[in-house]
Amino acid sequence: MHSAAATPTYSQLRERFLATATKHNAQLRHYPHPLKGMQGEDLFTDVAVFAKPGVKKWLVSLSGTHGVEGYYGSMCQTQYMDYLAGKARDEDVGILVVHLINPWGVSWKRRVNEDNMDLNRNYLDFSQPLPENPLYESIHHLFTKECATPEGRKKSNEGWQKKIQEVGYAEVKNKLGAGQYKHQDGLQFGGFGPSWSNITLRSIMQEYLGDSTDAISFDLHTGAGPYGHPMLMAIAEHDYPGIADAQRIYGAWLYTILTGPEQVTDTGISAACTGYTSQAMVDMMQGKRFTQLVVECGTYDSETVGHVAMRDDHFQHLSGELHGKKFDQVKAAILEFFFPTDDDWRELVWVRTRQIFDKALADLSARG
Ligand SMILES: [Zn+2]
């Protein structure tokens, strides 16, 4: 076990990020979040920009879509700013670093945001009918506030195991992962409308990339796939020209995943879902030469560790008990799942993420 003092906090990530960006003369913008964090701190999404005026080609990185996964994302974004400072860089390519787009989730060490939403299910057109999720409807009663007692948890766990025996874990995970748009108190809630983070990201993209011609963008995640394996993925509802660029740049490293209600994938992410950040970015960048990619770093086993940690966290917040020994244990477990303390894991995901960023920068640089 690591000591509580070693547990990173949102404020530490932010201080390191801002200090590093400032040291290397980034332009900074701060987007204040309406709520306070776990330690009563103010919350922001921060943006660091390295670009001369009028730059048209951009490397973009985005961290913390799934709050607690931002400990990895922030680490790589901050280290990459340091790394770039020691290298000759093509001034015709701008660097846009969007730090912790779901700062509330980072601070509270949750995958969800302040509305219990999975942000990666929230980028939908809410004027259209929202997707149905019959599998989730059949198990929602296992995840309500009534189940947040020891006795309730026992029943909830039994019901969960029963469903897995009926249809298999992969099916439950894929269908559950598709998101649901009915129960704000449930799992994998996609929202009733656009979240603060959704609106903020759109505004950042418009402001900095509105008149760009070319961009390659990365959404940084952890928690799916085998331990210590950073996967590079193109995730979209339909093929689009940016995927061919990614295939050319990354070759066999790239997993291409087209999503849809009946889609499955063995990468550990859900292919059945809609409302991915990735698709929203592609839509926002229509008419430009744009590639949106996801880096997804595998950690522990999903069924026996990850989903247990996420359900514990879900019930802890439903119970309203937001401090104390049990709360601290739940937070330590979910953080460990999404950001292992293992130095070898951290080094490996950093090296791979740096390589991925470098390839994108080189390709942007080579374009006329
Ligand atoms: Zn994620």
Q: What percent of the chain has pLDDT over 70?
A: 98
Q: Are 119 and 162 spatial neighbours (Cβ–Cβ below 8 Å)?
A: no
The contacts of residue 355 (CB under 8 Å, 6+ apart) are none
Q: Residue 79 has which token pair?
A: 């280290």
CA 172 from centroid of its chain's CA atoms: 21
pLDDT at 3 over 60: no
State in Å: Cα 207 to ligand 1 middle. Answer: 25
Q: Residue 51 has which token pair?
A: 């670009």
pLDDT at 2 over 60: no
State in Å: Cα 222 to ligand 1 middle. Answer: 6
Backbone angles phi, psi at 227, to 5 degrees: -50, 130
pLDDT digits (tens, 9 = 90+) for 96-129: 999 999 999 999 999 999 999 999 999 999 999 9
State in Å: Cα 174 to ligand 1 middle. Answer: 14
Q: In what order do the strands lie in the sheet with 93-99?
A: 27-36, 42-50, 93-99, 57-63, 214-222, 289-297, 230-236, 254-258
State in Å: Cα 65 to ligand 1 middle. Answer: 7
pLDDT at 153 over 70: yes
The residue assigned the tokens 């390191």 is 16
Q: Which CATH class is domain 4-126+188-303+333-366?
A: alpha beta
Distance CA 271, CA 33 (A): 30
Q: What is the mean pLDDT of the chain?
A: 94
CB atoms within 10 A of CB 93: 23
CB atoms within 10 A of CB 254: 18
Please name the amino acid found at residue 288. Answer: K
State in Å: Cα 51 to ligand 1 middle. Answer: 28
Q: Are 217 and 61 spatial neighbours (Cβ–Cβ below 8 Å)?
A: yes
pLDDT digits (tens, 9 = 90+) for 39-97: 999 999 999 999 999 999 999 999 999 999 999 999 999 999 999 998 999 999 999 99
pLDDT at 359 over 50: yes
What local confidence, expressed as pLDDT, does residue 1 receive? 43
State in Å: Cα 259 to ligand 1 middle. Answer: 16
State in Å: Cα 67 to ligand 1 middle. Answer: 8
| Segments making up each domain of the chain, as ranges | 4-126+188-303+333-366
Ion ligand 1 residue ranges (Cβ < 5 Å) = 66, 69, 221
Specify burial of residue 180 (Cβ count, 10 A radius: 0-12, 13-18, 19+): buried
pLDDT digits (tens, 9 = 90+) for 233-253: 999 888 999 999 999 999 999
pLDDT digits (tens, 9 = 90+) for 279-318: 899 999 999 999 999 999 999 999 999 999 999 999 999 9
State in Å: Cα 350 to ligand 1 middle. Answer: 16
Please name the amino acid found at residue 22. Answer: T
